[in-house]
Amino acid sequence: MPRSKRRLHSRSGSRSSVGGGGVGRYEEKRLKHHTESGDGYKSARKSNTSSSRRKRKRSEESHHQRSLGSTSGGHRKNRYREEKQPRRREDSRTSRKDREREREQHRPEDPKKHTTSGAVRNDSDGHLIYQSGDVLHNRYKLLSTLGEGTFGRVVKVKDTAKEQTIALKIIRNVEKYRKAAKLEINVLEEIIAKDPFGRYLCIQMLDWFDYHGHICIAFEMLGLSVYDFLKDNKYEPFPMEHVRHMAYQLCFAVNFLHSIKLTHTDLKPENILFVNSEFTTVPSNSTRKSREVRHVNCSDIRLIDFGNAIFDHEYHSTIVSTRHYRAPEVILELGWAQPCDVWSIGCIMYELYLGITLFQTHDNREHLAMMERILGPIPYRMAKKTRTRYFHHGKLDWDEKTSNARYVRENCKPLARSAICDAPEHAQLFNLIGRMLEYDPNDRITLAEALDHPFFAKLPAHQKLHLQHRYGSNDKSTSSSVPAGSSRDFSHSLSR
């Protein structure tokens, strides 16, 4: 199966269309942003013993797996199936007490630990055991399960106090997931404080509570994710007017996050949901097959999944973002800030336009080779600055005779050549994508600048939200709390 297409088997796991699916894809990694002090390679380099080499290999394998992500956005499994790791060998020098302490740390939490009555039970993984009709918190009547992931489950519930149907995310009764959920709640509360009416297109948290050790977060109900809609539509690209509107809304929402000193760090089609994903079936314009395709009736979207969002003042871990949308400064471990979100948006816009992933790979070196094939050589200053081993004398260390190199040559081409036609709006789209995919984050366009790009000029006046908020908003609380543009503050970057 050609890798240039989205591989259906590579996105295994259930996918819910609910807004409540906006959970942190890397819940465990999100915690490590606050607990780890650096990357795992440095200490491994200090020893030449065989034991240290084994440890280094395990550390690098673990680091690579974390870079791919241990869970998927919301409630689906990883895009690429992780290989089973070999059983860890105990070091003969490790004491019995140390080994027991380590096993205790990794032992699943007792599912009965937070159970206060016989009616509340957990399974062996810490998931809440429930059935349709159960009522949580004397308010939320469970109707059906919408999705499941490493973090827990998302359930369709009826809010009996307000007589409305919403989505409830029920976190597993495991300490690390409870902590990750509380971090996400902190971000969601900050978003509500700065945008109480939801005008900046981020999903709204309606309520949260602790139910016998299960953190529960209530969200508004939304439609399918952009990725799920693409998949169900056989990866048929969106019409240009939908690409324009959806890209604009994404820039608008993320620019708001940047203005309140937040970086999302995990932007991808799975984390963009349609408000309503009802569609109309129309004949396909494609010459490949005479079939019908789906056009969504309303292209309004909401941004979800703030489990990995990082405030400017917080610790920035080395690796963030889902592989396909990861910026070069992250791969090269040069430190990152808000421009890494801009790179992700550029990749998403390409995918909306063509229906395929721009960088379909799961290997760092191949990823960099694809970048050079599509965008040109990586700047010498970045190649010399990185401590990774992907370059030799400032050039990418890439064997052009391998099958991987042949795949890159055959399936990747300069960015501008991907345009379907030479019409001005297509050229404008690729101009904007190109400015978002500048290698150097300091040269990358900001989202405040992107909102005024000529590609968005054709939007109807009522869809140009940044102009309404800039010139016509009467909401003092919103307009006064959010600056007009996003900042290029790199003071918290981990650049070396």
Cite the active site residues: 266
Annotated binding residue 234: no
Contact 301, 275 (CB under 8 A): yes
Contacts of residues 189-195 at CB distance under 8 Å and 24 or more positions apart, as own/partner, are 190/260, 190/262, 191/257, 191/260, 191/262, 191/306, 193/481, 194/256, 194/260, 194/478, 194/481, 194/482, 195/256, 195/478, 195/482
Residues pairing with 159 in the sheet: 140, 164
Q: Is 217 exposed, middle or buried (0-12, 13-18, 19+ CB in 10 A)?
A: buried
Sign of the Cα torsion 86, 90, 96, 102 reads negative
Q: How far is CA 120 from the centre of its chain?
A: 33
Contact 295, 277 (CB under 8 A): no
Contact 294, 280 (CB under 8 A): yes
Query: Which amino acid is residue 183, in one-letter code?
Result: L
**H or E stretch covering 346:** helix 339-354
Task: Give the end-to-end CA distance of the chain in Å, rounded to a whole number.
Answer: 40
The CA distance from 43 to 46, in Å, is: 5
Contact 406, 370 (CB under 8 A): no
Sign of the Cα torsion 128, 137, 26, 167 reads positive
Binding site residue list: 169
Binding site residue list for ATP: 169
